Structure 1
């Protein structure tokens, strides 16, 4: 870095600084105070310092992000909508967890498919369409109570 040139403050840079302070046996608060005095508003929050101190206490020495499974752009695709519809038709009592286990899609996507695309809601632990008339919904509810 040339004189007068601003250094890019990356996550890894702050992690290295936190690790350095961890090795110096500074407390979390002393570390954050030092970071704030050096970097002002650009310093990471206390929660970040606390989390990294915890990681270092557990023996972590890598400053890089760990690989984590990337969530797909969207699970709400016609194939999944049809698959969820089929699961509901097979078993009106199917749960989010069962759908997730069967199709491997995230609960937020399941929610979107059920409520926005299939327009169903859970009533008496069964999925029923929103667009039933009130009389039809009562019949479904009465029928569910018989069991």
Structure 2
């Protein structure tokens, strides 16, 4: 489910759109109330369009595609161990040694281990 704030903003967009209010005016209202936590103009415009077309739900639709399943605790531990052993590993070398994609390695390094740069060559 969307966060509570996003859910409330989508509710407001839906109601205001049903009253014929345009996305720019809706965004101004959202920015007054939510300041920096407001949705972007592009997002407001897209949701307003969906509601004008008859959409009822405030929830995101299911996304197609396979979820990242290579980012597991065991793979994270393996990547951490290999980086601690040799900080000169490249993401490609780590991916080959662990048997996962380079994108999964990047996700583990950046999101899981909070590492952006291990060692310069």
Q: How high is the TM-score relative to the length of structure 2?
A: 0.51
**In the comparison of the two structures, how many residue pairs are matched?**
75
Structure holding more strand per residue: 1
1:10 is paired with a residue whose SS is helix
Using the TM superposition, give the Cα deviation of residue 18 of structure 1 relative to its aligned residue in structure 2, in angstroms: 0.7
1:21 is paired with a residue whose SS is helix
1:66 correspondence with 2:69: no
Match for residue 22 of structure 2?
27
Taking CA–CA contacts closer than 8 Å with sequence separation of 6 or more, which of the two structures ends up with the larger relative contact order? Answer: 2
| Contiguous gaps of at least 5 residues in structure 1 | 1-7, 76-111, 118-147
Using the TM superposition, give the Cα deviation of residue 9 of structure 1 relative to its aligned residue in structure 2, in angstroms: 4.7
| Contiguous gaps of at least 5 residues in structure 2 | 72-90, 97-121
Where in structure 1 do 4 or more consecutive aligned residues deviate above 2 Å?
67-70
1:48 correspondence with 2:71: no
Task: Decide whether the 8 Å contact of 2:23 with 2:44 is kept in 1.
Answer: yes
Using the TM superposition, give the Cα deviation of residue 30 of structure 1 relative to its aligned residue in structure 2, in angstroms: 0.5
Q: Give, in whole Å, the separation in 2 of the partners of 1:24 and 1:54.
A: 13
